[in-house]
A and B are shown apart, each in its own frame.
Chain A
């Protein structure tokens, strides 16, 4: 009986992989998820290094170019043949009947483009830099995506807007996750009357019609307040209405984990409630929380854009994608300057990327799949 060579369990040639290593491997095999992952990485890097990537500052006004259309990059010289990339300047022409100003590309003004040019200074972690990713060699101004009503560069504002939009997304996500996890885990673990009361509060929060509430709450925010404090309060309102879902989902999960034998054996060795929750229960809900968070981010981005578009979200001088779209509220500006819609592209890309990433993560974290 002690002959272990006959013991069927003696041979277990399993690779020594932890749960997270398995998740990583499974995720890397998922093409759709990987595309989403790189999409998210691209957007996050854009937000972090927006000062470097954006050609100009968010408030840099070019008074000579109001509502100027996008300047396209040319690779071929007018006389033919490949040349270094350049953009053409515009000459303004006024239609004498309608008084409408139109911009016509002027072939005589050629501004060659280059990478890593000297531009307006920008700061990163308190350090000041002057190098920008792209610009003209002769110092003339270029607008790849045109300008808005005040002559501000749309591309630069869009890139810098990534910061505020993502910051909002992460802020709301982290806060909602923290509150949702705390409330949900406590409610599921302690149960009884506490659980009953907490769940009624969750239902109360969830039964609010959110859109009118957002509008009403934003309306009571002080108009003259600092943009930053409005931003924080706006985020707080979003958090207030978003934690409820997670807390309810986690409550159910915790109730099932609570009766698992490994939790009961922790009780049997005399572990305290805090230790059981922190060491045995929360780690086993982490995959659920992470996946929820990645799905939450695109939702917050969409909601923020929508509310800022209505003019009740992020306030000037802060720039977000939604507040940029606010400028194309009316039909005329949309018809005369369609390039102001550019942030829509960024919103679509980021929402798709985060959703794809979330899908990939969810599949990779499924404990029952091993294929």
Chain B
């Protein structure tokens, strides 16, 4: 093995917070050589991003790096470099790609200017040359129509295109080391594969060292040479990727590898009665644009005359990329959003024309679990109040003690301890919060639950646990689910039937196995490919 380009030894990072000191990183060591990819894997909170920021010395103000932490880069020890010395290295010899491509670009400058600025800071050159350089970079990252992109603003681009711009920015000064911090997590699955392939190609042509931070094991397996598995700020296992994957040593690594969503939904009674039916559902948004005197209106059809049927006990998956109208369909079926047309039958009763008051008795029968567990729980209420809310509103339970018992029962159902009741949402991790959100739904004993991407904000290993939980609950309480997702792996593990949506229309529908194994349309094929074979060379 050649000399490592970057070597870190015993890196310790502490955060001083109001509630005390938090040891985020406790003695991490790893190294990466030129032309190699090191994957750093771990769940959120394992300290993998913090370590990367420590390398760049870009930590928050309340962070302290341990005195014994050593970081060597290209033979120099950079851990005690001054801020000025680090500025010359950052963005020049080491660059970084962040997770969220929307917030890491400045919305008020054109992307061309932003990339040119990076170049000119480190390599003074006339504006015209810098512009040519940017164009060359845009071509390199395979941004479609690169000349036109120069003058565009970030909001005019899609997520994948923005991430390509970020990569162009990171590559602008031909860095020796590229740190990619979850570069594909915020992107649609189909885009994800393209970005990873691009990164891999660029690494080869530039002979860079790459540190890829991720929680997605499929990505690790397909793209990295070496892997470091982190947990609670410590390295639990390291080695060559292939060996670690074929023969994991540490139980935690085994646990991570086993956490791909597995299993199949329980059997569905073919003669089960229809519980919910939507006929000719149509939802459209009116967009107004143009100047004050040249006001124009356009109609954006989010859901275009769809028919959906759910039988009792069925789990129906709704799949599509972002913007395909899947969430809109779900929300309007449980009347959390107004539809422009169509009929919704719940248990034989037409609920599409009921007003809010008339709907109230129906609310306990159909519940919803939202995507983001961080905004779905009221931060000012304790868990007991949050879960109890539905009981109080609907007058369920004779007194406080009885309601408390029901809340405890719901917590038990989602495998949370009873003590959780007295705590605030911010004290729980993402996966735990999602369990609490599920508890809030099932405490009302609903028949139907709309699951709006309940796992996509969670780490992979936790995702699998939530899927298992949902499957258990379905059997235990005889629930009917409508499961909205862009992740076909999860859909495969949970759904009996699936509907593939694109631009508000149904592309394909049918039993899950049939749709996933023999996809008919090109769009479905693309989704299936992205989910089951990440094709990063």
Query: Which residues in A have some Cβ–Cβ distance to B below 8 Å?
Result: 1, 3, 6-9, 11-12, 14-19, 22, 25-26, 29, 260-262, 264-272, 275, 279-280, 283-284, 286, 367, 370-371
Contacts and interface: CB of A to CB of B under 8 A. Distances in A.
A262 B43 CA distance: 25
Interface string B420-434: 001110111111100
Q: Select the residue from A3, A7, A367 with max chain B CB neighbours within 10 A.
A: A7
A31 to B, nearest CB: 15
Contacts of A16: 422-423, 427
A1 B19 contact: no
A264 B375 CA distance: 10
Contact of A15 (B20, B429, B440): B20
A265 B376 contact: yes
B537 to A, nearest CB: 31
12 contacts: A9-B428, A12-B429, A16-B422, A19-B379, A265-B368, A265-B370, A265-B376, A268-B334, A269-B364, A270-B364, A280-B378, A370-B17
B380 interface: yes
A187 B430 CA distance: 33
B363 interface: yes
A92 to B, nearest CB: 62
Given A19-B379, A284-B379, A11 B232 contact: yes
A284 B15 CA distance: 27
Given A12-B429, A16-B423, A268-B363, 10 more contacts: A1-B468, A262-B378, A269-B389, A269-B390, A271-B389, A283-B380, A283-B381, A371-B18, A371-B60, A371-B62
Contacts of A8: 43, 45-46, 231-232, 429, 459, 461-462
Contact of A275 (B19, B60, B393, B422): B393
Nearest to B263: A1
Contact of B375 (A262, A271, A272, A280): A262
A275 B393 CA distance: 8
Interface string B281-325: 000000000000000000000000000000000000000000000
A300 to B, nearest CB: 28
A236 to B, nearest CB: 33
Given A12-B428, A18-B424, A269 B367 contact: yes
B240 interface: no
B127 interface: no
Contacts of B258: 1
Contacts of A19: 379-380, 424, 426
Given A12-B427, A261-B370, A284-B379, A17 B19 contact: yes
A303 B360 CA distance: 50
Contacts of B16: 371
A262 B382 CA distance: 13
A299 B45 CA distance: 45
B376 A6 contact: no
Nearest to B17: A370
A29 B465 CA distance: 41
A17 B17 CA distance: 13
A284 B378 CA distance: 8
A1 B380 CA distance: 33
Given A262-B375, A270-B393, A279-B389, A14 B19 contact: yes
B30 interface: no
Nearest to B386: A262
User: Top 8 closest A-B pairs, CB basis?
Assistant: A270-B363, A269-B390, A371-B62, A261-B376, A9-B429, A261-B370, A6-B255, A283-B380
B153 interface: no
B251 interface: yes
Contacts of A269: 363-364, 367, 389-390, 393-394, 440, 444
A283 B424 CA distance: 14
Interface string B383-426: 00010011001100000000000000000000000000011101
Interface in B458-490: 459, 461-462, 464-465, 468
Q: Select the residue from B16, B18, B45, B389 with max chain A CB neighbours within 10 A.
A: B18
Contacts of B15: 371
Nearest to B459: A8
Nearest to B430: A9
Contacts of A371: 15-18, 60-62
Q: Select the residue from A3, A7, A261, A280 with max chain B CB neighbours within 10 A.
A: A261
B372 interface: yes
Contacts of B364: 269-270
Contacts of B378: 262, 266, 280, 283-284
A260 B424 CA distance: 17
B121 interface: no
A57 B389 CA distance: 55
Contacts of A1: 258-259, 464-465, 468
Nearest to B393: A271
Nearest to A272: B393
Nearest to A271: B393
Interface in B343-385: 359-360, 363-364, 367-368, 370-372, 375-382
A284 B424 CA distance: 14
B379 A367 contact: yes
A26 B17 CA distance: 9
A260 B380 CA distance: 13
Interface in B142-193: none
Interface string B16-53: 11111000000000000000000000010110000000
Contacts of B58: none
B214 to A, nearest CB: 15
A160 B71 CA distance: 66
B272 interface: no
Contacts of A260: 375-376
Contacts of B372: 261
B288 to A, nearest CB: 15
B252 interface: yes
A275 B395 CA distance: 13
B513 interface: no
B67 interface: no
A275 B381 CA distance: 14
B389 A26 contact: no
Contacts of A268: 334, 336, 363, 367-368
A188 B364 CA distance: 27
Contacts of A17: 19, 424
B143 to A, nearest CB: 33
A9 B62 CA distance: 24
Contact of B376 (A15, A18, A262): A262
A9 B377 CA distance: 18
Contacts of A261: 370-372, 375-376
Contacts of B46: 8
Q: Select the residue from A29, A267, A270 with max chain B CB neighbours within 10 A.
A: A270
A266 B389 contact: yes
Contacts of B465: 1, 7
A11 B232 CA distance: 9
B536 to A, nearest CB: 26
A6 B16 CA distance: 27
A10 to B, nearest CB: 9
Contacts of B440: 265, 269
Nearest to B258: A1
Contact of B18 (A11, A22, A275): A22
Contacts of B431: 9
A369 B27 CA distance: 26
Contacts of A280: 378
A98 B499 CA distance: 103
Interface in B46-105: 46, 60-62
B375 A270 contact: no
Contacts of B367: 268-269
A318 to B, nearest CB: 41
Nearest to B427: A14
